[in-house]
């Protein structure tokens, strides 16, 4: 048995970023590891410049995500003003950047992907006893976040509370399946008497659950479920200041809905 911190990532609109260069800003169908750790970092109040704190989050904790509903794809045609780059110029805010640029402003265009009606659950665990924060401390931070949490972009706040919960479980899979069955967000009904979570999932609500986690954690945390494929993702934070991310081997597994804690 181990201790896990579970939480909800449910939103009317979310943006799960992937590699983005140029005009097209694609989005994934599930949160990246960097997005989950960034969400927790915001709750803790970690600034982007605190590289040691971000390194601790990236290296000292494991995570898994239950993907109940990826949401419908929505693409936004986006325009924004931008200032020209200058050597050794680091404005404190965007307002300062635009004000000091004066007549040099330009307009850039982009197409950005969003997901409407997404439902994911997260599980976090400490990889060893020397982790910088206890799961209890992370739980408290998610209940009373320092910075406003969002799911990808600031325009995408959670639609339901994160509702962090600590639990003892055999592994991450059983912890997530127990949360999916008994979590507070799983008890919400809509007018027809149907569970809100099943309305979001549509016709796929009765199929096996998709759960993703680091491939290296499958043996210990995978509950014996089948790995359907592995993907290489560039979402392991290396430096938030330089906006650098490393490669990560992620396993996608299917688990029967009756898998329990």
DSSP, collapsed to helix, strand or coil, labels residue 46 as coil
Indicate whether 247 pLDDT > 90. yes
> pLDDT value at position 196?
81
Domains of the chain, start order: 2-73+113-173+180-255 (3.30.70.2660)
> pLDDT value at position 261?
46
Using an 8 Å Cβ cutoff, are 254 and 209 in contact? yes
d(CA 186, CA 184): 5
| Digit-coded pLDDT (tens) for 142-201 | 999 999 999 988 899 999 999 999 999 999 999 999 999 999 998 888 877 777 887 777
Using an 8 Å Cβ cutoff, are 212 and 65 in contact? yes
| Digit-coded pLDDT (tens) for 57-85 | 999 999 999 999 999 999 998 888 778 77
The CA-atom distances, in angstroms, between 242 and each of 48, 121, 246 are: 10, 29, 12
Q: Which long-range contacts (CB under 8 A, 24 or more apart) does 179-186 make?
A: 179/6, 179/66, 179/121, 179/123, 180/66, 180/68, 180/121, 180/209, 181/260, 183/6, 183/8, 183/121, 184/8, 185/8, 185/10, 185/160, 185/161
């Amino acid at each position: 048995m181990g201790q896990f911190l579970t939480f909800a990532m449910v939103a009317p609109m979310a943006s799960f970023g992937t590699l983005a260069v140029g005009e097209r800003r694609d989005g994934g169908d599930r949160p990246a590891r960097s997005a989950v750790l960034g969400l927790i970092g915001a709750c803790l109040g970690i600034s982007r410049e605190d590289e040691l704190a971000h390194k601790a989050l990236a290296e000292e904790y494991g995570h898994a995500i239950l993907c109940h509903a990826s949401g419908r794809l929505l693409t936004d045609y986006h325009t924004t003003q931008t200032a020209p780059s200058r050597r050794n110029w680091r404005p404190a805010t965007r307002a300062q950047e635009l004000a000091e640029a004066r007549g040099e402003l330009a307009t850039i265009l982009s197409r950005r992907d969003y997901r409407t009606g997404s439902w994911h659950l997260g599980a976090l665990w400490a990889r060893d006893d020397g982790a910088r924060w206890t799961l209890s401390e992370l739980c408290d931070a998610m209940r009373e976040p320092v910075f406003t949490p969002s799911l990808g972009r600031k325009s995408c706040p959670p639609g339901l509370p994160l509702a962090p919960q600590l639990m003892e479980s055999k592994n991450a899979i059983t912890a997530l399946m127990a949360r999916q069955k008994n979590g507070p967000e799983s008890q919400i009904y809509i007018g027809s008497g149907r569970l809100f979570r099943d309305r979001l999932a549509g016709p796929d609500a009765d199929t096996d659950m998709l759960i993703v986690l680091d491939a290296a954690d499958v043996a210990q945390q995978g509950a014996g479920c089948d790995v359907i494929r592995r993907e290489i993702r560039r979402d392991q934070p290396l430096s938030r200041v330089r906006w650098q991310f490393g490669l990560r081997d992620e396993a996608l597994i299917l688990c029967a809905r009756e898998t329990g804690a």
